[in-house]
């Protein structure tokens, strides 16, 4: 950021990510960006727009359309002291690089008994609500949260995007950085002087007394909308933004549930064997005697993501979230 920039600015998430990447590149000349069409074009979502011109083609690299090659090359660069930031164009395209991520990147530090660090960030635009075709609206985060050796985070706001991308790049470990693409364009305040919370902290983003709802990424804004509507009918909903999916910071969530006695977990991903499943199980284990009702889940269905015209029926919405809230309160 320019020295005369305001401490607080209103930005889209894409612009906040651009500024966060630029700040990281200015702070460490070993940081470099890799991905398909991220150079002059600035990526399909324009997150890297202007960065090649600013930092040069040797630090913002256009790669072939080969995710396995992108991740494999990044591993080699990290071994030689660089901090690569890889862009996967869309969530569904990460699977050609899945082998490199889960069988090599996630395991090499342990394989070297801790002597080797791999500070690699893999940026993944994910989630629905953009009316796209197959492979462009999926939420595959559970695959990576299930893989030991990877960190996994997902910002819900431009402010968190700005700070969390810098913290992810500074991490000594591989970080999967999942960006909710439906939140790329709404604007929000970014405080350039204070991150507000560390990378792997969850936090309460709306205080309530009757029930807790928790989610990550794009669905956090939907939870806040649901809480505002419920307030008009006299129901006080507390909203928790996970922010980090591996590791999960359970302390604020458990403290909230012990006060409200009820929990609804919401996500865009299918429900079976998911992040939501893990949260429901852990909260039930650790706050069982505080619960006044079963932990309820709201999720995408256990089917392949449908054509765009059906995404509204497939993805959770405010009505489904409030229906779960009503069910929990009925106990």
Q: Strand pairing of 151-153 and 175-180?
A: parallel
| Exposure string for 93-129, b = 16+ CB within 10 A, e = fewer | bbbbbbebbbeebbebbeeeeeeebbbbbbbbbbbbb
Tell me which of 129, 136, 159, 200 is the catalytic residue.
Answer: 136
Neighbours of 172 (CB within 10 A): 10
Cβ-proximal residues to 113 (8 Å cutoff; 6+ apart), any chain: none
Q: Residue 69 belongs to what H/E stretch?
A: helix 67-79
| Exposure string for 220-247, b = 16+ CB within 10 A, e = fewer | bbbbbebbebbeeeebebbbbbbbbbbe
Which is it for the CA torsion 179, 185, 188, 193, positive or negative? positive
Burial class of residue 62 (count of CB atoms within 10 Å of its CB; 0-12, 13-18, 19+): middle
φ, ψ of residue 241 to 5 degrees: the values are -95, 115
To the query of whether residue 136 is one of the catalytic residues in this protein, the response is yes
In which region does residue 217 sit, left (phi positive, over 0), alpha (psi from -120 to 50) or beta (all else)? Answer: left
Q: Mapping DSSP to helix (H, G, I), strand (E, B) and coil, where does residue 121 land? A: strand
Q: Strand pairing of 244-246 and 151-153?
A: antiparallel
Q: Mapping DSSP to helix (H, G, I), strand (E, B) and coil, where does residue 302 land? A: coil
Nearest to 146 by CA among 106, 179, 112, 116: 106
Cβ-proximal residues to 302 (8 Å cutoff; 6+ apart), any chain: 270, 271, 272
Residues carrying an active site annotation = 136
């Amino acid at each position: 950021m320019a020295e005369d920039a305001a401490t607080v600015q209103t930005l889209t998430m894409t612009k906040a990510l651009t500024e966060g990447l630029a700040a990281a590149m200015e702070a460490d000349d070993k940081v470099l960006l890799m991905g398909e069409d991220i150079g002059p074009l600035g990526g399909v979502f324009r997150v890297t727009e202007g960065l090649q011109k600013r930092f040069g083609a040797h630090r913002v690299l256009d790669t072939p359309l080969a995710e396995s090659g992108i991740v494999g090359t990044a591993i080699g660069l990290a071994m030689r002291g660089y901090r690569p930031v890889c862009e996967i164009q869309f969530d569904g395209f990460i699977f050609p690089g899945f082998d490199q991520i889960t069988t090599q990147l996630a395991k090499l530090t342990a394989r070297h008994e801790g002597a080797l660090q791999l500070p690699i960030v893999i940026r993944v635009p994910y989630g629905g609500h953009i009316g796209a075709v197959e492979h462009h609206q999926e939420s595959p985060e559970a695959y990576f949260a299930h893989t030991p050796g990877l960190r996994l985070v997902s910002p819900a706001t431009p402010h968190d995007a700005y700070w969390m991308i810098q913290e992810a790049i500074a991490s000594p470990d591989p970080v999967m950085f999942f960006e909710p693409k439906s939140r790329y364009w709404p604007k929000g305040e970014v405080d350039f002087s204070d991150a507000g919370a560390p990378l792997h902290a969850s936090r309460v983003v709306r205080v309530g007394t009757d029930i807790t709802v928790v989610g990550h990424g794009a669905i956090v804004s939907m939870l806040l909308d649901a809480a505002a509507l419920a307030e008009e009918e006299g129901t006080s909903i507390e909203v928790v933004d996970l922010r980090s999916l591996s590791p999960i910071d359970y302390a604020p969530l458990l403290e909230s549930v012990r006060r409200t006695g009820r929990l609804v977990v919401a996500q865009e991903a299918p429900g079976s064997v998911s992040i939501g499943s893990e949260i429901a199980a852990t909260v039930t284990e650790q706050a069982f005697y505080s619960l006044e009702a079963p932990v309820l889940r709201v999720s995408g269905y256990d089917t392949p993501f449908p054509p765009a015209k059906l995404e509204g029926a497939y993805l959770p919405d405010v009505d489904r979230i409030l229906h779960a809230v009503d069910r929990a309160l009925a106990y």
